[in-house]
Amino acid sequence: MDLKQLEYIIAIDKERNISKAANRLFITQSALNQQLLKIENELGTKLFDRRHPFMVPTLSGKIYINTAKRMIEMKEDTYKIIRDIANEDYGEISLTYTPEQGATLFANIYPYFHAKYPNITFKITETRVKAMEQLLLNREVDIALSIYSEDIGLKDSLEFIDLHTEQILVGVPSSNPVLKTINAVSDNKYPQIDLNSLAEENFVLMSTNTLIRDIIDLCFKEASFTPKVLFVTSSTPTVLNMVKQQICLGFIPESYINNTNDIIFFSLSPARYWTRCISYLKGGYLTKSEKYLIELCKLYYSGELSQYALIDK
C-alpha cells in the first residue's frame, strides 16, 4: 500500500464525495477518481458504493479504510518519536480549545511555550467540547483543552489529565421575587436549592451542542419539569449578562462568576460539577514539547505559571 493512496481513500471516506475530497487533497477530481479506480482494480473489488447520493464504503472498503487509518497513525507516531529522540525542536502541534476560557488559557501560556520552543507552531481549532472528542478520535488534532463531566460519562478511547474542577451554579436575578420563597440550605459556599422551586421561572439556556446543556437537561429530567426557555445562546457570557440584567435565570460555571450584587448564585441539589482537562488519544505518544504544554496548563490553574515559567526560561 502506498501511503499517499491511503490518504486518498481516507479523504474520500471523510468527505463521501470525490469532488470535495479532491479539494481537500489539492488535486483534481479526475486525478483522484483515477487513483480510486486504480486501487479498486488492483484489489479486484469496489471500495465505495456509488449508488447513493454520497459515496458509502463497502465491506471491503471499511476494512481498507480502517487499516489505512492505522498505518497513517503509525507513520505519524513514528515521525513524532524520532524527532523527539533527535531533540529536533520544530514541528506543529494541532490543538483544539473552546472559544471562551480555552482561548484565554492558551493566550496566557503561549508566551512561555514560545520562549522555550520558538520553532514549534500551532494549528488551532476552536470548537465546542462535544466536537473535540471526534476531532481527537479522527486524529485531526493532537491535544484538546477540554472539559468533562462524570454525569455525562467519559470516552474509553481518550486519556484525561485533570486541571480544575468547578461547580455549575444557577444564577437568579437579585430582584426576582422567587428569592423570598426559596428554601435554601446554606451549609456550603453557595446555598443549595431544589431545582423544582424554580419551575415557574424563565431561563436562558446554552445551545444543545454544548456539554453544559447536556448536564442541565439531565437536571431538568431528574426534576421532572420542562423549563420555560426565553431563548438559547452559544455564549456563557451572554447567559451571565442576561441574568445580570434581571431578565431571567441561567446556569453558569463557577469560573465565570465575578463580584456582583446583581445575581444570587445557588448550588444545585445534588451539586453538579465539571472538570477542565487535557485530553488526547489513549496510548498516543506525547512529545517533550506537548508534555511541556500540559505542564504549563497545570501551572496556569495552580496559579504558579509566571514564577515557574520565568525560572524555566
pLDDT tens-digit readout, 95-138:
999 988 899 999 999 999 999 999 999 999 999 998 999 999 88
What integer pLDDT is reported at residue 187 of this predicted model? 66
All CATH 3.40.190.10 domain ranges in the chain, comma separated = 88-164+276-312
* CA–CA dist 13, 284 (Å, integer): 23
Rounded average pLDDT over 80-108: 86
Q: Is pLDDT at 9 greater than 60 in this prediction?
A: yes
All CATH 3.40.190.290 domain ranges in the chain, comma separated = 166-273
Percent of the chain, pLDDT > 90? 72
State the architecture of 3-82 in CATH terms.
Answer: Orthogonal Bundle (1.10)
All CATH 1.10.10.10 domain ranges in the chain, comma separated = 3-82
The CATH class of the 88-164+276-312 domain is: alpha beta
Q: Please, what is the angle between helix 288-302 and helix 101-116, to 10°?
A: 130
DSSP H or E run through 156: none
Q: Is pLDDT at 89 greater than 80 in this prediction?
A: no
Rounded average pLDDT over 253-274: 91
Q: How many CA atoms lie within 13 A of 229 on its CB side?
A: 16
Residue 155 pLDDT grade (very low, low, confident, very high; cuts 50, 70, 90) = confident
CATH 3.30.700.30 fits 166-273, yes or no: no
Least confident of 53-57, 72-76, 109-113, 190-194: 72-76
- With 0.75 as the threshold, say if the pTM is over it: yes
Contacts of 193 (CB under 8 A, 6+ apart): 170, 182, 183, 184, 185, 266, 267, 268, 269
Q: Is pLDDT at 16 greater than 90 in this prediction?
A: yes
Residue 113 C-alpha from the chain's centroid: 21
